[in-house]
Chains A and B, each alone.
Chain A
């Protein structure tokens, strides 16, 4: 559908024009927004980011985080068909009220594979947010390769990789961080994001091929994660909501997996690979 939309936009671009207009939209009732992320491998990706919705034309275009929340993450266990959240409880504290408002973390926290977790947030006005997630088993990247294509003065680079998708129902989120420094400081530092489930490919090798090129010499840090089904539905809807525009834009609401706020609590079982897109010396 996206390729189709690109082609159509190209066609429209031949004749369309635009002009700036002023629009009055009514004020919106503010809601809490929570992005909670935990994993088993990378401490900088364990954090909770809290902010609020604001009026659309509010000129404030920064993080807009909320600093006075009480944030806890509790480890759980699975006993038969029940999940109990009675394990270790970590308090996530505000990192910096001025540089990174609304970002809470605990550097001692490390997620465990095959473990459930519970999120609890209390706001100063008494509002509560809660949610659960599960860190599963990380996928195993089977193989990777890359190649080059000369385009005028540029050398475009592409890569390909594959991993095995088991017979069970699997969901994945992948982030690609193009940086010589591999440490990802929050998921938003990555440049490209993808979500997959196993609707089309199940119990088989699952390939991924970059369609848009990278530059010669780029260093790609690939974060491939297994996530839960509700988390997948959230990130898939988030992808649509965050890339929604043009004449065929439709109002999209994200599919939250937490209560009391918009957003998600996602447990990532991360597999990380790094490739440098240049000829071997």
Chain B
């Protein structure tokens, strides 16, 4: 869509949506407030607030806030939230009503067994599609590997979201790469969400309140990535009483301490986690390998204070590190220390200007960095690289009328990219080199309106204006394409001088048409740009991968997404179902030339090639939300391709994570008050991989002692991603035993069996040419056979 068209669209929208309508004259007063957990004081995100005897309502935002405009004759609200007893509140109509509503977790009032959940029809009424939420508690109940609950593993059980594999926390949404997902922890960008080389994510489940992922129909208040937004909201801490909770797993333990700073008004939470593989393994490691160790740790800190009726302040932070120490068993002079991690800090201020105007302003810092110290004898060198952002944003939610909810805001980010600094000494020669830092400003302004046009039609339309400005100081060296050497020429940019500037408009439109009280049709269109790109040649996201900005040569990535869905609830909303189809072309996609050297490459852009992508598919989802047995089943049929002039002879090829069929089944069953069980089954078409189709001999020589020729064997590759690995499927089961639950002490055991039927799922394939026997063999490596694990969780 051209930018001029986008502006016309906005003007027409504003004109149409604010025309007087019949409901306007009936508006009398507004009701607003927060919905909280009665036991902890934590706000509840996504709680449904419905006006009794009406089809109108609202959902609490990320801060638990809602606002509604009521007619004179409306004086009753019904509030519900998954896992909590619903509540109905009656009040006397007034000019402006503020409510602080507390919901009690189910089971608190003498009932031990969760037999009811949220029976909400918000999935058919809201304009949101392709958006799913999961609570931290839910994630902890899922079967896990090594006794470690994991947020990112959990979301890959949802339709349209595919896992990168057992050794990867990378996920793939509707044909996009892992770098096309914006991962936010309390609004701070997490550039590398992996611990343990991708086996686990950086999110400590004890500190996670809830997550929600938007995989399509992205509203205008989100942007920056092509494929999805994953919001991880950290818990705020109990503002009623001090609590300690934790868990002991096979490879790590967690401990969380929280409590009120001032009861009911402020709280804090400190949560930490550390692996102890290094400590446990130490007695069993031979002395010659004793210099090797690996561990990770992370810490979440959060505090919040209610400053008054209208103001709340939140401060949260994360710090995590992976540390690998390596000493060569063959050469004790050789040491290798490698560490990487994320740091984030978020300061947020909620302000309620009026019941009709809510705002949040955030100042956010985030940084991902790695160090690599390599020492051999008296020589050594150190490598450092990082990406760092300062981000200031303000978001406003305005409820001008009962049928409008307007959101608008501004967002500014200052990016600093440090691709590499290398220093050290080799013999008498000292080395001090750095790849030039890069600096960029990223701006965004947006407005969206969710407009209930009539009883059946709700439209959410928005426009996001984004701009990316790569600025100096920077010295751009000119390289020869053939020799890949600097020509000696360079262009010097002064501080603040623009190197590349990309202003872009992103129109967003989604709508819901209610067919009846149980079903609706939804559609959406989104246009998104992405200015940051991940330099990687592997399928996994690695610590050494670099984030690089758009530049004069590297154009912003662009995607359009069209989605259409049919949503239907059954049995008084106990069952949800949906069918969604999507079509998503992507442009200015980036890949690297085969064999590209990414690390410490002064001329990284020369290794890039540019092309297009296309993904389309259909997603089917059925979810049971109430009763002893809950869960969901999802099926996705999809096709994802890439086309690059410089790859595969310019012919389209399957994206590595193209997955024709993808099935996920999750069942949770409450056996009795003490025992519950979870079952997971996943199936996915095998990944598309490029295999060698031929080989040749090279580097000729003669072994004089044995009188025989010596040579190396080199593989020749055929079409890109032309071979399919065997299908991936697996079943896991877990049982949770509630050992004790009193007001002061709670403990439970989680017993998991991962890969129950011991499926050998492919991790990679390798070939072994046996010259003695004159044959070439193929081997498939698989990671995890059947793996039992146990985890103990406690709270007091």
Contact = CB atoms under 8 A, between A and B. Distances in A.
Contacts of A179: 704-705
A160 to B, nearest CB: 7
Interface string A11-23: 1100111111111
Contact of A35 (B333, B538, B698, B782): B698
B695 A56 contact: yes
A154 to B, nearest CB: 10
B782 A53 contact: no
A177 B542 CA distance: 36
A100 B702 contact: yes
A21 B780 contact: yes
Contact of A54 (B332, B333, B694, B781): B694
Nearest to A210: B331
Given A229-B483, A262-B696, A201 B374 contact: no
Given A1-B544, A56-B767, A205 B785 contact: no
A56 B711 contact: no
B330 A156 contact: yes
A229 B333 CA distance: 33
A132 to B, nearest CB: 13
B377 interface: yes
Contacts of B326: 3, 6-7
Contacts of A61: 713, 769-771, 774-776
A145 to B, nearest CB: 11
B718 A35 contact: no
Interface string A191-208: 001000001110011110
B718 A25 contact: yes
Contacts of A3: 326, 336, 338, 374
B592 to A, nearest CB: 9
A17 B782 contact: yes
Contacts of B544: 1, 4
A260 interface: no
A246 interface: yes
Interface in B739-796: 760, 763-767, 769-771, 774-785
Contacts of A83: none
Nearest to A235: B699
B690 interface: yes
A12 B783 contact: yes
Nearest to B425: A207
Nearest to B374: A3
Given A12-B167, A23-B691, A156-B330, A188 B701 contact: yes
A139 interface: no
B295 to A, nearest CB: 12
B704 A189 contact: yes
A259 interface: no
B26 interface: no
Contacts of B332: 149, 151
Given A4-B338, A25-B723, A200-B422, A62 B694 contact: no
Given A28-B694, A35-B699, A207-B426, A252 B782 contact: no
Contact of B429 (A1, A205, A244, A246): A205
B710 A188 contact: yes
Contacts of A149: 331-333
B766 A245 contact: yes
Contacts of A54: 694-696
Contacts of A152: 288
B594 A250 contact: yes
Interface size class of B (residues with CB under 8 A): 35 or more
Contact of A33 (B288, B696, B771): B696
Nearest to A185: B702
Contacts of A160: 427
A63 B538 contact: no
Interface in A12-68: 12, 15-23, 25-28, 30-31, 33, 35, 47, 49, 51-64
A15 B699 contact: no
Given A3-B326, A211-B376, A237-B595, A247 B429 contact: no
Contact of B720 (A16, A186, A251): A251
A249 B764 contact: yes
Interface string B108-121: 00000000000000
B709 interface: yes
Contacts of A217: none
B429 A207 contact: yes
Interface in B9-35: none
Interface in B253-312: 288, 292, 294
A204 B429 contact: yes
Interface string A113-137: 0000000000000000000000000
A9 to B, nearest CB: 10
B599 interface: yes
B699 A28 contact: no
Nearest to B379: A209
Interface in A138-183: 149, 151-152, 156, 158, 160, 162, 169, 179, 181, 183
Contacts of B411: none
Contacts of B691: 23, 25, 56
A23 B722 CA distance: 13
Contacts of B714: 238, 241-242, 254
16 contacts: A17-B782, A18-B781, A35-B698, A55-B693, A61-B713, A149-B332, A179-B704, A185-B702, A189-B704, A190-B701, A201-B426, A240-B595, A244-B715, A248-B537, A251-B692, A252-B717
Interface of A: 1, 3-4, 6-8, 10-12, 15-23, 25-28, 30-31, 33, 35, 47, 49, 51-64, 100, 103, 149, 151-152, 156, 158, 160, 162, 169, 179, 181, 183-190, 193, 199-201, 204-207, 209, 211-213, 229-230, 233, 237-238, 240-242, 244-254, 262-263
Given A20-B779, A252-B717, 14 more contacts: A17-B781, A28-B693, A28-B716, A53-B716, A62-B709, A156-B331, A179-B704, A181-B704, A188-B712, A205-B428, A233-B484, A240-B595, A248-B540, A252-B594
